[in-house]
Amino acid sequence: MAAMAGSVLLAFLMIFTILSSSVSSLSLNYYDKTCPNFESAVTNAVKKAMKNDRTVPAAILRMHFHDCFIRGCDASVLLKSTKKNVAEKDGPPNVSLHAFYVIDHAKEAVEKMCPGVVSCADILALAARDAVALVSISRGPNWAVPKGRKDGRISKASETRQLPAPVFNISQLQQSFSQRGLSLEDLVALSGGHTLGFAHCSSFQNRIHNFSATVDVDSTLSPSFAANLRRICPLQNKAKNAGSTMDSTTFGFDNVYYKMLLGGKSIFSSDQALLTNPKAKALVQKFAASEAEFGKAFAASMVKMSSLTGGQEVRLDCKVVR
């Protein structure tokens, strides 16, 4: 037991060291002398992709989150698998990630401006900011992104088990976030990113079928909402892409997610878990009541999360390590 406790502590210390190693090196003016105008190229790549695919903002935001939670924001989620290694993007929680081409196109444009200068990790962080800002309702969150991240060389599908799962309870969520230096408020604020999300049936099947030995449906769900989810996702669902949007304003970034959560219309068990902690519930109520308060908290938490990085280099191609 002592050996196990020691190994858990060592793992935590390794994660914390990796994630905090480069925070102090980030700067808002990091590229002022080496590539001062590259941010416009990233914004243009996101805008262009959004014209053809309205799911791009949600995809980019989720991609950035999944990148940051594994070894920090080092663009390791962008690396392709090889014959000798299965990369993060092919790990079970990441197989539904898409829109990698947006980052590739942005990188290509930036490389033409400033070869070998701007990291893929910085491009992904900026693209996530742009994705939110471009679809925000009522002039929602926007923030200045500190830059100077480096790209990582290690990407392992096995490490994606570290990502918080949709079935996590509040204790598991808090542990996952605290290991990365993120607070309870960060947890609640970043959960609001689900306002842009889409969930496949498999991620919430546990709430609408065989919830427990005595109850078929999670009683915290609104009956009519649960009935609709069961219609979309029957017990023997065979439709590969069946699922539900995370809130009713599918393509707009706002605080409707929190309002629906309070109304018994959350999708994941992990969403509902926010209401099982008094402090988290109070934050949910605060963000549901004020879109401005949510936007401010979300922006601050995104800067905090995206400042955790552990990369070592600038990749010329975001997909491969040379």
Query: Per the annotation, where are the binding residues for substrate?
Result: 164
Residue written as tokens 């539900």? 244
Please calculate the CA angle 70-280-91 and round it to the nearest 5 degrees: 20
Residues 6 or more apart whose Cβ sits within 8 Å of residue 123: 42, 75, 103, 106, 107, 110, 318
Residue 266: HSE in the Cβ half-sphere, 13 Å Cα cutoff: 24
In sequence order, what DSSP letters do the residues of 127-157 get, joined into one string?
HHHHHHHHHBTTS----PPPB---B-S---G
Residue 62: HSE in the Cβ half-sphere, 13 Å Cα cutoff: 22
Q: Detail the residues annotated as belonging to a binding site for heme b.
A: 194
Please calculate the CA angle 213-216-218 and round it to the nearest 5 degrees: 105
Q: Detail the residues annotated as belonging to a binding site.
A: 67, 72, 74, 76, 88, 164, 194-195, 247, 250, 254
Find the catalytic residue in 66, 105, 200, 209: 66
Active site residue 66: yes
Distance (Å, rounded) from C-alpha 127 to C-alpha 10?
Answer: 34
Q: Known catalytic residues?
A: 66
